[in-house]
Amino acid sequence: MNARSIDGREIVLKPEALDDLRKRLRGRVLEPTDAGYDDSRTVWNAMIDRRPAAIAQCIGAADVVACVQFARQHDLLLCVKCGGHNIAGLATADGALMLDLSHMRGAWVDAQNRIVHAQGGCLLGDVDRETQLHGLAAVLGFVSLTGITGLTLGGGMGYLTRRWGWTVDSVAGMDIVTADGSLVRANDRENADLFWGLRGGGGNFGVVTGVDYELFPVGPEIVGGVVAWPASEAQQVLELYREMAEESPSELTLVALLRPAPPAPWLPKEWHGNPIVGLLACYSGPIAEGERLVAPIKSLGKPIGDVLMRRPYAQMQSLLDATQPKGRRYYWKSEYLPRIDSGLCEKAIANAAKIPSPHSAVVLFQIDGALNKLAADHSPVGNRDARYLLNITSSWENASQDDVNIAWARDAWNDMKSFSTGGNYINFLTEDESPERVRAALGINIGRLADVKAHWDPQNFFRTNRNISPAPVQQRPN
Ligand SMILES: Cc1cc2nc3c(=O)[nH]c(=O)nc-3n(C[C@H](O)[C@H](O)[C@H](O)COP(=O)(O)OP(=O)(O)OC[C@H]3O[C@@H](n4cnc5c(N)ncnc54)[C@H](O)[C@@H]3O)c2cc1C
């Protein structure tokens, strides 16, 4: 079978070699003709359509070790898939051996020490489900189907970020299979340089088989949900967003979104597809205080839908899932913002009015608080000056509509990028982003990251990622 070497050359992988791999693993090895290959190889963004030479569905760290050793032995390109949510499709590569970790989704809670150990293939919802049994939560993201490991290796942010920082700020340790095929523990005491690099340096250092997250008391009920108004109300809604976001305690996170109304049951049918503005809120402190704090949102103007209420935290964590299904085409642009300027709001409204698809949006996430209190080099996620995140999310169904939808996102971004801190979220970078954008995302930490890479992966074996190797990076095969 044809495959790719780690530096992009075509190589031949003999059937005996794959048989040998099968013998070394407890999980399945899939070839392109096997049932399940397509399901396993595809990722969330349908713009990405790559065909690994083979897929190893690992069921534990020992399988991962065997795969890394096998790939080294055969000079085979390797890629790693957790949730497959990366918009640039970094989890998959043509001709590679793909490690599909979707069978490694166990999460074990130590409630007394407030730690969860989650396997490297968990989705966010897997971890929330186990931790919420104990009224605890890790700092994870806004969509429950996202993979924990890709999110964490790039930094991570969600409704609890204002209280406890980037996801990586409360990671206690990781287990990782490194380039020499050994299983290594990384935390503050063991392999501290590697641990530093893992907290924002992407998949550059190896295959993470497990993550330990510190847990915090959250829920099981919170005050959360969304209120929507006609887009004609956007100016006053964004003004309220700006005022409340500046003053509110870190228990409250607000997200503003401008988009065509989705066909959600809580929105009147006649509004579906028409432009709306929404405010998403999550208050994770005492319920009565949350109800008091969100009252100005609920009483603003004449909403067309209001599902901002007391609800389970786990439900809040999956509220946006239906708006981001696997299999659509996606193209994003993001920038961190130091504040919400009135000029930015005007531009957000104007650009949202030009959205060419029913699924696209201009979104403003509030993230300020704990993350701003640590030093810029605390971990490579950096961006400690970020207080908001602008995400221009273009999403559509058919390839024939690619140009118009990509052009909309790029134009909107060009119109609004002057409001940026200069940094952007590495986990939101699309396939076509330049190395300069990766450098902007990693900021001052890139030099130290390259040193850690040179120590732990001098041959740049792990390269299907936002690569920070000091050695020249080979073009990734598409
Ligand atoms: C709908 C949607 C919502 C999102 N919401 C948020 C959010 O709220 N907050 C946030 O911070 N981000 C969010 N993101 C961005 C998300 O963090 C990134 O897309 C992230 O890469 C997804 O992780 P994954 O494991 O699903 O990715 P994958 O596509 O599986 O992998 C992404 C990268 O991580 C590497 N990787 C994955 N698993 C491992 C592993 N075990 N060991 C080593 N490397 C590994 C892959 O090789 C690849 O380079 C969202 C993305 C989507 C599509």
Report pLDDT digits (tens) over 247-257: 999 999 999 99
Ligand 1 in contact with 123 (CB < 6 A)?
A: no
- Which 3 state secondary structure label does DSSP give 211? strand
Ligand 1 in contact with 101 (CB < 6 A)?
A: yes
Among 214, 182, 210, which Cα is nearest to 198's? 210
- Report the C-alpha gap between 135 and 124 in whole angstroms: 16
Report pLDDT digits (tens) over 210-236: 999 999 999 999 999 999 999 999 999
pLDDT at 365 over 50: yes
Residue 470 confidence (pLDDT): 64
Among 199, 163, 165, 143, which Cα is nearest to 391's? 143
pLDDT at 333 over 70: yes
* Atom nearest to 157 CA in ligand 1: 11
Residue 1 confidence (pLDDT): 86
pLDDT at 205 over 50: yes
pTM of the model: 0.96
Ligand 1 binding pocket mutation candidate from 146, 208, 209, 319 (most atoms within 8 A of CB): 146
- Report the C-alpha gap between 102 and 93 in whole angstroms: 17
pLDDT at 35 over 50: yes
- Sequence letter at residue 12: V
Report pLDDT digits (tens) over 78-127: 999 999 999 999 999 999 999 999 999 999 999 999 999 999 999 999 99
The overall longest dimension of the chain from CA atoms, in Å, is 69
Residue 468 confidence (pLDDT): 85
Ligand 1 in contact with 142 (CB < 6 A)?
A: yes
Ligand 1 binding pocket mutation candidate from 81, 82, 323, 453 (most atoms within 8 A of CB): 82
**Percent of the chain scoring above 70 in pLDDT:** 98
What is the Å distance from ligand 1's center to 17 Cα?
30
Residue 469 confidence (pLDDT): 80
Can you say whether the dihedral through the CA atoms of 36, 41, 46, 51 is positive or negative?
negative
pLDDT at 476 over 50: no
Report pLDDT digits (tens) over 59-82: 999 999 999 999 999 999 999 999
**Percent of the chain scoring above 90 in pLDDT:** 96
Residue 475 confidence (pLDDT): 40
Among 439, 400, 347, 474, which Cα is nearest to 46's? 400
Ligand 1 in contact with 150 (CB < 6 A)?
A: yes
Ligand 1 in contact with 200 (CB < 6 A)?
A: no
Ligand 1 in contact with 30 (CB < 6 A)?
A: no
pLDDT at 474 over 60: no
Q: Which two tokens stand for residue 463?
A: 């390269």
Ligand 1 in contact with 324 (CB < 6 A)?
A: yes
As a whole number, the mean pLDDT across the chain is 96
- Report the C-alpha gap between 476 and 231 in whole angstroms: 42
Report pLDDT digits (tens) over 391-442: 999 999 999 999 999 999 999 999 999 999 999 999 999 999 998 999 999 9
Contact 234, 349 (CB under 8 A): yes
Residue 471 confidence (pLDDT): 54
Phi first, then psi, for residue 213 (nearest 5°) are -105, 135
Report pLDDT digits (tens) over 125-166: 999 999 999 999 999 999 999 999 999 999 999 999 999 999
What is the Å distance from ligand 1's center to 276 Cα?
28
- Report the C-alpha gap between 63 and 56 in whole angstroms: 8
What is the Å distance from ligand 1's center to 86 Cα?
5
Report pLDDT digits (tens) over 246-290: 999 999 999 999 999 999 999 999 999 999 999 999 999 999 999
Ligand 1 in contact with 149 (CB < 6 A)?
A: yes
